[in-house]
Structure 1
Amino acid sequence: MSPQTSPLRERHAAAGAKFADFGGWSMPIEYAHGGVLAEHAAVREAVGLFDVSHLGTATVRGPGAAAFVDSCLSNDLSRIEPGQAQYTLCCVPDGEPRAGGVVDDLIVYLHGPDDVLLVPNAANAADVLARLSAAAPDGVTVTDRHTEVAVLALQGPRSPEVLTAAGLPGGDLAYMSFAGGDGDEVTVCRTGYTGEHGYELLVGAARAGELWDAVLAAGEPHGIRPCGLGARDTLRTEMGYPLHGHELSLDITPNQARSGWAVGWKKAAFWGREALLAEKQAGPARQLWGLQAPGRGIPRPGMDVLGADGQRIGEVTSGTFSPTLRTGIALALVDAAAGVAEGDEVAVDVRGRPQPVVVRRPPFVESHVR
């Protein structure tokens, strides 16, 4: 089966983009004007524009739609008001194999008690929507809008100026709040996946090219660059942000991934609640840590983490070269029994050679999202 393509595909190709598969979508990984390092630096120092239209979009509408979503997903929607968004998790329900594992992590946009927009990951969107559709009460409809809506991410310290110059609403938004979205309007949400001040822009696919061009033109005096998903990965790893399939999965629970802050522990119901409460009380068998390499080796996913005695105590889930720190960094699941603490030195097996690394609690660099 051919991969899905963004409505901006032709623009990316004209800009010299290299493409890769992301969850069944062919998306730009970097551009010819400088590659991942230049794009990463643009976001940290000025502003970058990403096409993240591989992300899913879906509406849940009908009487009590928000309450229904709240009874399924992990976070507590009562903590936010209409016009705000929330990071949450879709976990495997109790009674199923892998109960408490993570089907997906996603963003919920709360328009009102009867109107919710979901933004899941590309590879997991169909599973999330199938689960919600099967559980939906009469009168509540789950509608897949994956190919109807494009998603752009404007990220970096100069992003507010670019947003204003492009004539878009939301320059004064509080973190995780959104504006617009009526009819063909652009929805602007103050969020992102880079650790910098930024916004995600949702627009009808037919208008995606117009919006992309307008934002790039508005950002030219501010040093804007189009950025691929390669830089998005180095940026999110520096922040310690999880990526589903790496730090979260059907076999990696929120407790293990240090994502318990996205769980409404006092809620009466959500999928996987009993399994997660039991694991939390007992203590997870493994825990997510950051690793920073003082030497030249770069940890990569799947590499073993070794204790002082050379025995395996965990596994790298994400690893890359940090353009900001100019060294290798990683996220890793480490056995709780190993008793590691921040500042400890362990090792990563890099092609048969133990590479010393220092245990860190992410983020590796300062966050500017709030």
Structure 2
Amino acid sequence: MHATLSRSPLHDRHEALGAKFAEFGGWEMPLQYSGIVEEHNAVRSAVGVFDVSHLGKITVRGAGAADFVNATLSNDLGRIGPGKAQYTLCLDAETGGIVDDIFSYFHDHDHVLLVPNAANNGEVFDRLVAAAPEGVEVVNHHADFAVLAVQGRKSDDVLAAMGLPVGHDYLTFVETNYDGRPVVVCRTGYTGERGYELIAPSDVAPQIWDAIMAAGAEHGILPCGLGARDTLRTEMGYPLHGQDIGPSVTPNEARLGWAVGWKKPEFWGRDVVLAERERGARRKLVGLKATGRAIPRPHMSVSLTPDVMLGEVTSGTFSPSLKQGIGMALVSTVVADDAEVGVDVRGRREVFQVVKPPFVDTSVRES
């Protein structure tokens, strides 16, 4: 791997487990251990653990920190309260394009933790610093904290065996300690399964990883890489920044209007996306399910008829749960939400059904 790539504080653990590594967002991260399908199925059937320490970590603190975040990012923190998490977007003020999608953890009115994507952490940080009013401090903690995702229906059993709090509602978090060190236990994740994300100081992460693996052994826990993370999130229709969404895609096109506080008086890009919402977006993000054996891949063209192009595939994979090809595509809004379309798979026009994700039913919202 290139010497300039950042490494997780758990890198030696991954090497010892025989992980295959890949570059992702400037980080050298595990792609897979035992195999993508096996890791995927462990999460869907029992429990798996992911190292997602490449995710960004930005704290916004000071008098009115939550008000500042609310005046910049798309979603409305007024919809939630302290101890709750929210999916939100950092939009470009001029274009309304999605600079990044972010989870915000609302500690209190003077403290918000933001978790951007790895590749965009610096960009989000710079924009917040430039806009921060006096008295509000924005700090980049990208390398200071690790994030471990314990996902699957047995995740409660694993964390409870470690003495960590479990059972709190979806999109809430609890601040606690592990061996005297602060840990935030968040009921969030990117797999669609019931699960938790642990945010802890980087120096204690190896100890927590070992404890998770030991506590999960009786439940068949597997370490899982970014390959399984991708198949799991695609089955849920969760967008990936840099593929399904990005600076050239607006929340209206991505069908992420639910992550926008439309009644807020202020957020970056508000006027642009409001105007687009009123006139109607020209494109939309849809789900695709193969009617045959074809597997869609990013950038494959999508057509209504051989002569009428609609757009292109943004994410595509083989679904281990459904055992068929699934994907997402950014297409013209002229196509119906249940239409049959063609995807150019290596020169062959394969038929796919337009569907509304998620592709699989999961337990993600169980309390």
> Which TM-score tier does this pair reach, normalised by the shorter chain?
over 0.9
In structure 1, the partner of 2:7 is 5
In structure 2, the partner of 1:85 is 85
Q: Where do 4+ consecutive residues of structure 1 move more than 4 Å?
A: none
Equivalent of residue 345 in structure 2, options 350, 353, 365: 350
Q: Show the 5 A alignment for 1:104-123.
A: 104-123=100-119
In structure 1, the partner of 2:268 is 271
Q: 1:247 and 1:37 mapped to 2: Cα distance?
A: 22
Q: 1:341 and 1:331 mapped to 2: Cα distance?
A: 12
Aligned partner of residue 264 in structure 1, secondary structure:
coil
In structure 1, the partner of 2:327 is 330
Deviation at residue 246 of structure 1 after TM alignment: 1.2
Q: 2:135 and 2:251 mapped to 1: Cα distance?
A: 31
Q: What per-residue deviation string (whole Å, max 9, x for no partner) do you get for residues 109-135 of structure 1?
A: 111111111100000000000000000
Q: 1:105 and 1:313 mapped to 2: Cα distance?
A: 25
In structure 1, the partner of 2:233 is 236
Aligned letter for 1:368? S
Q: What per-residue deviation string (whole Å, max 9, x for no partner) do you get for residues 37-68 of structure 1?
A: 00000000000000000000011001100000
Aligned partner of residue 256 in structure 1, secondary structure:
coil
Q: What per-residue deviation string (whole Å, max 9, x for no partner) do you get for residues 321-344 of structure 1?
A: 00000010010011013x3222x2
Q: What per-residue deviation string (whole Å, max 9, x for no partner) do you get for residues 225-255 of structure 1?
A: 0000100000000000000011110001111
Q: Show the 5 A alignment for 1:142-291.
A: 142-169=138-165, 171-180=166-175, 184-291=181-288
In structure 2, the partner of 1:314 is 311
In structure 2, the partner of 1:368 is 363
Q: Does 1:24 align with 2:26?
A: yes
Deviation at residue 184 of structure 1 after TM alignment: 2.6
Q: Percent identity?
A: 59
Deviation at residue 150 of structure 1 after TM alignment: 0.2
Aligned partner of residue 127 in structure 2, secondary structure:
helix
Aligned partner of residue 307 in structure 1, secondary structure:
strand
Aligned partner of residue 214 in structure 1, secondary structure:
helix
Aligned letter for 1:40? H
Q: 2:141 and 2:176 mapped to 1: Cα distance?
A: 14
Q: What per-residue deviation string (whole Å, max 9, x for no partner) do you get for residues 4-56 of structure 1?
A: 0000000001101000011000000000x3x0000000000000000000000
In structure 2, the partner of 1:132 is 128
Cα gap change, 1:116/1:181 in structure 2, threshold over 3 Å: closer, same or farther? farther
Deviation at residue 220 of structure 1 after TM alignment: 0.6
Aligned partner of residue 53 in structure 1, secondary structure:
coil
Aligned partner of residue 291 in structure 1, secondary structure:
strand
Aligned partner of residue 369 in structure 1, secondary structure:
coil
Deviation at residue 310 of structure 1 after TM alignment: 3.8
Would you say the 8 A contact 2:164–2:176 is kept in 1? no
Deviation at residue 181 of structure 1 after TM alignment: 5.0
Q: 2:72 and 2:176 mapped to 1: Cα distance?
A: 25
Deviation at residue 367 of structure 1 after TM alignment: 2.8
Aligned partner of residue 176 in structure 1, secondary structure:
coil
Would you say the 8 A contact 2:342–2:352 is kept in 1? yes
Aligned partner of residue 199 in structure 2, secondary structure:
strand
Structure 1 gap segments, 5+ residues each: none
Q: 2:271 and 2:176 mapped to 1: Cα distance?
A: 37
Aligned partner of residue 186 in structure 1, secondary structure:
strand
Aligned letter for 2:265? A
Using the TM superposition, name which of 320-329 and 288-297 deviates more: 288-297
Q: 2:176 and 2:285 mapped to 1: Cα distance?
A: 37
Q: 2:337 and 2:58 mapped to 1: Cα distance?
A: 41
Aligned letter for 2:184? T
Deviation at residue 287 of structure 1 after TM alignment: 0.5
Q: 2:114 and 2:247 mapped to 1: Cα distance?
A: 20
Q: 1:101 and 1:186 mapped to 2: Cα distance?
A: 34
Number of equivalenced pairs = 361
Would you say the 8 A contact 2:56–2:141 is kept in 1? yes
Q: 1:21 and 1:29 mapped to 2: Cα distance?
A: 9
In structure 2, the partner of 1:65 is 65
Aligned letter for 2:11? R
In structure 2, the partner of 1:53 is 53
Q: 2:90 and 2:306 mapped to 1: Cα distance?
A: 38
Using the TM superposition, name which of 291-300 and 256-265 deviates more: 291-300
Aligned letter for 2:354? V
Structure 2 gap segments, 5+ residues each: none
Deviation at residue 311 of structure 1 after TM alignment: 2.4
Deviation at residue 309 of structure 1 after TM alignment: 4.2
Aligned letter for 1:340? A
Aligned partner of residue 133 in structure 1, secondary structure:
helix
Aligned partner of residue 180 in structure 1, secondary structure:
strand
Q: What per-residue deviation string (whole Å, max 9, x for no partner) do you get for residues 251-290 of structure 1?
A: 0111101111000000000000000001111111001110
Q: 1:197 and 1:276 mapped to 2: Cα distance?
A: 33
